Amino acid sequence: MAADPPPGFAVAFRAPYVNHVGPIHQEIKTTPGRMRLGLLVAEVHTNSLGFMHGGMAATLVDSCMARALHAALQRRAVTLKMSIEYLDTLNLGDWVEAHGWMVSHDDDIALTRCELRVGDAVRANGSGVFRLLRKR
């Protein structure tokens, strides 16, 4: 099991919780309104059945969607509502990529989507509603 992410990714440090459950890697070059995060599933990320815990998958989805909208709007946000559909397991040793994008926004609310993929296979889908925080 390789410990290094693929080329083009770097460790993404930001929030204490995300730093604690990682390491989560972020694609170095991004497109505004889109984000790609990656995680190598280690034993610490697994449940008692040996695959990624659903809460860890949800953390990856939530973080990716929030970073996608921040990349587009340069505004911070908090999650109001999030939904995730688990389609298949994320297994020990998998390189999981979260592909997130902003769908739409107004002055206060942003809508987002995310897919968790292993290679070309989509293993989970997520959607989120975020409250945009006031500009400073």
pLDDT value of residue 16: 67
pTM: 0.87
pLDDT band at 21 (very low <50, low <70, confident <90, very high): confident
pLDDT band at 97 (very low <50, low <70, confident <90, very high): very high
- Backbone torsion region of residue 122, taken as left when φ is above 0, otherwise alpha when ψ lies between -120 and 50, otherwise beta: beta
Least confident of 16-20, 84-88, 93-97: 16-20
What mean pLDDT do residues 114-125 have?
Answer: 97
The two three-digit tokens of residue 116, written as one number: 């968790």
The CATH fold assigned to 9-132 is Thiol Ester Dehydrase; Chain A (3.10.129)
- State how far the Cα of 126 lies from the Cα of 114, in Å rounded to an integer: 5
